[in-house]
Amino acid sequence: MIYLDHNATTPVDPDVFAAMAPYLSRAYGNPSSGYPLGRAARNAVETARSQVAGLLGCKPEEIVFTSGGTESNNTILKGVARTYRKRGKHILTTAIEHPAVTQPCLFLMEQGYDTTFVHVDCDCRINAADVQQAIRKETILISVMHANNETGVIQPIEEIGKTARREGILLHTDAAQSAGKIPVDVSKMHVDFASIAGHKLYAPKGVGAFYMREGIHIEPLMHGAGQESGRRAGTESVALAVALGTACDLAAKRLMEDVHRILLLRDRLYELLAAKIPELTINGDPESRLPNTLNVSFPHVDGARLLDAVPEIAASTGAACHDRSVTLSPVLAAMNVSKEIGRGAVRLTLGRENSTEEIDKAAEMIIAAYAQLRS
């Protein structure tokens, strides 16, 4: 199999697995216990916290461990809504967010909150001026993803952050897709909250974290014994925290190397495909996007049928076909991509383990499958 779906999940890095393994066996102490076995577990968690903070450019005490990006987003959105409800009940987000943001917003709307979904342009870009225009007196939170999971398009968070800070409104960014792939500096972006997911950067599934700027307090989603400084109750999973910390440390150390190599491979894949399929269309801004992400539409074919024809390749599509009707992904629909173009959308996302040989072979197989479908 040639794995080209790294925006869906990543394999666990061998160094990450090795780092977490002892805490699944002999180093089994509870981080809240005062004897040596517990203190060793606590030290491991705090080391991991520092490693996550190092990737995001913040203080260790501003990091909270969670079960993943979904819990992080829910904690922030619902926590801000409950904590600041007397100030206002308006949330600003975008039409291209991950369901882990849109669904909590829809839930809050059922509880009497109001949400504005700012639209994107045809390149999947948010206009910071549109965000500013949508702000109201009762706006308490702006939530805009850092990079889109389908197109890889990077959003102008720094510009939005300056507006939010000037207006005195809290800003959250879902950085699950960007952390570990491009530099993420929460201070430079002027965000108050940021979410990450371990399985998007070579850690296991089931662990994530969020950054919460020092001095901010929100009602926790999880209540209990007061772990994570009262911000997320529940005994910490030492092994998963260590895994996430190690993954973040590795990402920080090899970020520029990975960006350069994977970008070259991604562009090589596109060039090979476009040389044989001239009508191939890139979905999203061709410049301002994650270095590993290639979302393209193949003309006059269904993306799902194309991938079915190459079972050796693991990738994703951007549309589903049911009874001759085409249902575009919410992201492509928000971009006003036509059904004709959208039905052929395929997302190819690269990672560390991909090689030039794999990319060449994948391109060869996709081109052959495309030619067969067209004939």
The domain segmentation of the chain, as residue ranges, is 14-251, 254-374
- Report whether 323 contacts 299 (CB < 8 A): no
Distance CA 243, CA 249 (A): 10
Long-range contacts: 365-373, Cβ < 8 Å, 24+?
365/310, 365/312, 365/313, 366/273, 366/306, 366/310, 366/313, 367/272, 367/273, 367/276, 367/277, 369/306, 369/309, 369/310, 370/276, 370/277, 370/298, 370/301, 370/306, 372/309, 373/301, 373/305, 373/306, 373/309
Burial readout 334-344 (b: 16 or more C-beta within 10 A, e: otherwise): bbebeeebbbb
Cα(336)–Cα(341) distance, rounded to whole angstroms? 10
- Contact between residue 191 and residue 76 where contact means Cβ atoms under 8 Å apart: no
Q: Which residues contact 104 (CB under 8 A, 6 or more apart)?
A: 73, 74, 77, 78
Helices (H), the chain: 14-20, 36-56, 69-83, 99-110, 128-134, 157-167, 186-189, 238-276, 303-308, 330-334, 339-342, 356-374
Enumerate the H helices of 135-235 as residue ranges: 157-167, 186-189
Query: Which residues are registered as beta bridge partners of 314?
Result: 3
Give the count of beta carbons closer than 10 Å to the beta carbon of residue 134: 16
In words, the CATH class of domain 254-374 is: alpha beta
Categorise residue 316: left if φ over 0, alpha if ψ from -120 to 50, beta otherwise: beta
Structure tokens at 358: 């794999």
- Write down the pLDDT at residue 318: 81
14-251 and 254-374 have identical folds: no
Cα(260)–Cα(262) distance, rounded to whole angstroms? Answer: 6
Which residues pair with residue 5 across a beta bridge? 349
How far is the C-alpha of 95 from the C-alpha of 113, rounded, in Å? 17
Spatial contact of 200 and 9, defined as CB atoms under 8 Å apart: yes
- Taking CA atoms, 232 is separated from 176, 228, 284, in Å, by 19, 5, 36
Q: Which residues, at least 6 apart from 128, have a Cβ–Cβ distance to it below 8 Å?
A: 156, 159, 160, 163
What is the pTM (predicted TM-score) of this model? 0.95
Length of the chain: 375
Q: Which residues partner with 143 through β-bridges?
A: 172
Alpha helices (H) in 14-145, listed in sequence order: 14-20, 36-56, 69-83, 99-110, 128-134
Task: Evaluate the CA torsion angle 70, 117, 9, 354 in order and state its sign.
Answer: negative
Residues assigned a catalytic role: 321
Q: Which DSSP letter does residue 321 get?
A: E
Per-residue pLDDT of the chain (375 residues; tens, 9 = 90+): 999 999 999 999 999 999 999 999 999 999 999 999 999 999 999 999 999 999 999 999 999 999 999 999 999 999 999 999 999 999 999 999 999 999 999 999 999 999 999 999 999 999 999 999 999 999 999 999 999 999 999 999 999 999 999 999 999 999 999 999 999 999 999 999 999 999 999 999 999 999 999 999 999 999 999 999 999 999 999 999 999 999 999 999 999 999 999 999 999 999 999 999 999 999 999 999 999 999 999 999 999 999 999 999 999 998 665 445 568 999 999 999 999 999 999 999 999 999 999 999 999 999 999 999 998
User: Hey, what are 130's tokens?
Assistant: 């549109």
CATH of domain 14-251: 3.40.640.10
Handedness of CA 159, 165, 166, 167 (dihedral sign): positive
